[in-house]
């Protein structure tokens, strides 16, 4: 039996997680529904006035995306933890961080991309000017993976706990603040017709940082949680 290469291991994990997600697709839809419902509550709670909604929109959409991601995070390692697949993963010859990266990518493809695709629709619901919609999608494309990457650390730390859900949000939400600040600001700037390159560069830098460090931290956290 030949050793699987690093890339093969990565893509196997990715494919496996995508297949699993496809089999439980009704469950996967829930965060998206949550995203839509939360956003549709704002006009009801605050005001249906287009001007008010317009000024709130970038923040509201981003906060809702953050919470929707948070809800979906729990499933990242939960079922693997329950059926013991996670332990097998830690025993593999390949670096755990690479396997983790595969799982995070799968998570982003399954939740981040749908959020990204839903965003323009919700932007229209909140009367966002059409110029800012590309900016919104770009920030979600850059920021979404960061949310999945950083979230993975939190999930890995709380995976063995019976009631990790609330604790997870307490651990992760403060770490999401820089992403939230820069992304929401970029979108409001775009709506006002200002330059947003600086914010996007910063999000890109954060993504690079998260991409390099988060899988390592997640792997370490998984080892600790499963001991």
Partner 1 sequence: MWLFFHKLGSPKYFYDLSGKFLPWFGGLTLILMLLGSYWGLVVAPADYQQGDSYRIIYIHVPAAWMSLFVYIVMASAGAIGLIWKMKMADVVASCSAPLGAAFTFLALVTGSLWGKPMWGTYWVWDARLTSELILLFLYLGFMGLEAAIDDKRTAANACAVLALVGVVNIPIIHYSVEWWNTLHQGSTVARVDKPAMDVNMLIPLLIMWFAFMFYYGTTLFMRARNEVLYRERDTAWVKEMVTE
Work out how close the CB of 167 gets to partner 1 at its nearest, in angstroms, rounded to a whole number: 5
Three-class DSSP category at 2: coil
Provide the terminal-to-terminal Cα distance of the chain, rounded to the nearest Å.
29
In the shown chain, the binding pattern of residues 128 to 157 toward partner 1, with x for contact by CB under 8 A and - for none, equals -------------------------x---x
Q: Is 206 in the site for partner 1 (CB under 8 A)?
A: yes
Residue numbers 171-200 binding partner 1 by CB under 8 A: 171, 173-175, 177-178, 181-182, 185
- DSSP code string of 19-87: HHHHHTHHHHHHHHHHHHHHHHHHHHHT---HHHHHHHHHHHHHHHHHHHHHHHHTHHHHHHHHHTHHH
163 binds partner 1 (CB under 8 A): yes
Task: Provide, rounded to whole angstroms, the least separation between the CB of residue 40 and partner 1.
Answer: 27
Instruction: Classify residue 152 as left (phi > 0), alpha (psi -120 to 50) or beta.
Output: alpha
Q: Which value, to the nearest 10 degrees, does the dihedral of the CA atoms of residues 19, 31, 116, 102 take? A: -40
Asked if 224 touches partner 1 (CB under 8 A), the answer is: yes
Cα–Cα dist 96/156, whole Å: 12
Among 8-16, 39-47, 79-87, 219-227, the segment contacting partner 1 (CB under 8 A): 219-227
Comparing CB distances to partner 1, the nearer of 81 and 202 is 202
Which spans of this chain sit near partner 1 (rule: CB under 8 A)? 153, 157-158, 160-161, 163-164, 167, 170-171, 173-175, 177-178, 181-182, 185, 202, 206, 209, 213, 217, 220-221, 224-225, 227
């Amino acid at each position: 039996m030949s050793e699987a290469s690093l890339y093969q291991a990565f893509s196997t994990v990715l494919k496996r997680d995508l297949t699993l997600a496809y089999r439980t697709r009704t469950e996967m839809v829930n965060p998206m529904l949550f995203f839509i419902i939360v956003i549709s509550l704002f006009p009801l709670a605050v005001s249906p006035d287009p001007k008010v909604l317009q000024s709130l929109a970038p923040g509201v959409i981003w906060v809702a995306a953050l919470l929707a991601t948070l809800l979906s995070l729990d499933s990242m390692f939960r079922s693997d933890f329950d059926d013991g697949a996670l332990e097998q993963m830690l025993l593999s010859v390949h670096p755990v961080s690479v396997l983790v990266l595969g799982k995070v990518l799968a998570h982003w493809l399954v939740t981040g991309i749908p959020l990204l695709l839903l965003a323009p629709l919700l932007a229209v619901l909140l009367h966002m000017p059409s110029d800012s919609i590309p900016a919104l999608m770009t920030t979600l494309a850059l920021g979404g993976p960061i949310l999945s990457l950083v979230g993975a650390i939190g999930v890995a730390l709380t995976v063995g706990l019976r009631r990790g859900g609330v604790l997870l949000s307490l651990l992760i939400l403060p770490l999401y603040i820089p992403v939230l600040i820069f992304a929401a600001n970029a979108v409001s700037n775009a709506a006002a017709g200002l330059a947003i390159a600086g914010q996007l560069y910063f999000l890109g830098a954060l993504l690079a940082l998260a991409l390099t460090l988060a899988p390592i931290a997640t792997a370490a956290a998984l080892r600790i949680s499963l001991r």
